[in-house]
Amino acid sequence: MKSSDSSVGAWRAVLLAQHRVVRAIEQDLVEAGKVPLTSYDVLLELDVAEGKCLRMQDLGERVVLSRSRVSRLVDELEKQGLVERRPDPDDGRATLACLTSEGRRAFRRAAPVYLAGIERHFTRHLSPTEQATIACGLQSVVDAADDDPPT
């Protein structure tokens, strides 16, 4: 196999694995009656943020699954009482998305299903060495992208 073949093969494997595992975890959450994976993604980012709040722009940069529709997704989560919008006290032009106590409860209820899905659909198929190699290699790609963002 030529070098370019293995490069394309690695890229294809990343895309296929990501697509299939995300789809499987989405299904697990639906079957368990928990928040959808795109909502979980937003709740996760808010949960780990300082003060449980993020500027909408920052939230859009952090979420993995729903960047193009973060504003609409936050609208939906706000209607469900899981997130609330607040004016940014540091910048009157910006809006914060903040996790509510109900949002934190929904996040915590979904977390065991999400974590079990990662184990069932991803990590159990990889040795600890493969997991570490993948994490290290892909983090290098993430770091390079952060150092040289698209224009």
Please tell me the predicted confidence (pLDDT) of residue 64. Answer: 87
Query: Average pLDDT for residues 72-99, to the nearest whole number?
Result: 94
The overall average pLDDT reported for the chain is 93
The better pLDDT of the pair 2, 70 is held by: 70
Strand order in the sheet with 91-99: 53-55, 91-99, 83-88
Please tell me the predicted confidence (pLDDT) of residue 4. Answer: 59
Please tell me the predicted confidence (pLDDT) of residue 5. Answer: 76
Lowest mean pLDDT among 17-31, 83-97, 98-112: 83-97
Band (13; pLDDT cuts 50, 70, 90)? very high
The DSSP annotation for the chain comes to --HHHHHHHHHHHHHHHHHHHHHHHHHHHHHTT---HHHHHHHHHHHHSGGGEEEHHHHHHH-SS-GGGHHHHHHHHHHTTSEEEEEETTEEEEEEEEE-HHHHHHHHHHHHHHHHHHHHHTGGGS-HHHHHHHHHHHHHHHHHHHHS---
Query: Average pLDDT for residues 79-86, to the nearest whole number?
Result: 97
At 21-78, the pLDDT tens digits run: 999 999 999 999 999 999 999 999 999 999 999 999 999 999 987 777 999 999 999 9
Please tell me the predicted confidence (pLDDT) of residue 1. Answer: 47
Return the closest-CA partner of residue 133 out of 24, 21, 14.
14
Domain ranges of the chain: 13-147
Which architecture, in CATH terms, is 13-147?
Orthogonal Bundle (1.10)
At 120-139, the pLDDT tens digits run: 999 999 999 999 999 999 99
Which pTM was predicted? 0.87
